[in-house]
Amino acid sequence: MCETQTRNIRRMAANIFGEGSRKYKGFGFDGINALKDVERIKAYYRIVRRADARLADLAPEGLTAGLITTYTAACAAADLAYDVLVDTIQDRDEATEDRIELANAIYAEVVKICNTGKTYWFDKSEAKYNDYVITPSGTTQTDENGSMKITGVVTDMNGNPLSVATVTASNADGSVSTTTGVAGLFSLQIIGLVGPTNATLTVSYPALADGLRGITVEPGVDQVQNFQLFPNTPPPPMP
């Protein structure tokens, strides 16, 4: 509805002021619908303000206070729909994060139990020892593709999620990178592992100090690594 009313008001402005005039350009531009949602909604509200200011000029083309009111209501509805979408995405990502944390907590408890069992049966029974070996499929002791996954959340010093932060894992065989999405979530897969190996996890974001962490990665053993980034500390002044 906003798009149709936007075109109508801009047509009125073009007929009155001419498409080359600055007054007409105050009513938006041809690529307005290609803007991101939040930017497009701001542009709609600008047209509302310009239409209200130029009501007397555009009245001959059919613009009325009632049409401006209807257009304003449509803009408010679009604004609310955008907020609902953002909240829905946020709720979804928070629920995903909660499931990840719960799954990893359960996995950590299972690991504790299995480590206890392996320790007890280490020199008593190989068969019973193998019953406590955790494997991805339950039948093999290593991931067939030598892969594992690292997931986590990246936030700033105040706990606000950082989207589009770069997350890189590197080891002797190379590196793999990804970026955080909405709510600061990331998921990064490392493949080609043949056993436990050391790796470095680096997180970077503009204007913030990099997060750097040494970890051990192992085929079939996923893990969670959360990061909190802080502002860069400026160097001390020269004496």
Q: What backbone phi and psi angles, to 5 degrees, belong to 151?
A: -125, 160
Which whole-number Å values give the CA distances from 107 to 113, 127, 149, 193, in the listed order?
A: 10, 22, 14, 21
pLDDT tops 70 at residue 239 = no
Torsion of CA 49, 51, 52, 54, to 10 degrees: 120
Q: Say what the pLDDT of residue 135 is.
A: 57
Question: Sign of torsion, CA 227 230 236 237?
Answer: positive
pLDDT tops 70 at residue 16 = yes
Mean pLDDT throughout 80-91?
A: 84
CA contacts within 13 A on the Cβ side of 145: 6
Residue ranges of E strands in 66-160: 148-155
In which band, very low, low, confident or very high, does the pLDDT at 214 lie, cut at 50, 70 and 90?
very high
Q: Say what the pLDDT of residue 137 is.
A: 41
pLDDT tops 50 at residue 129 = yes
In which band, very low, low, confident or very high, does the pLDDT at 229 lie, cut at 50, 70 and 90?
very high
Q: Say what the pLDDT of residue 134 is.
A: 65
Which residues, in sequence order, are CB contacts of 135 under 8 Å at separation 6+?
Answer: 141, 142, 220
Task: Name which residue leads in pLDDT, 102 or 14.
Answer: 14
In which band, very low, low, confident or very high, does the pLDDT at 56 lie, cut at 50, 70 and 90?
very high
The distance in angstroms from the start CA to the end CA of the chain is: 63
Least trusted range by pLDDT, from 50-64, 84-98, 128-142, 212-226: 128-142
Q: Say what the pLDDT of residue 235 is.
A: 54
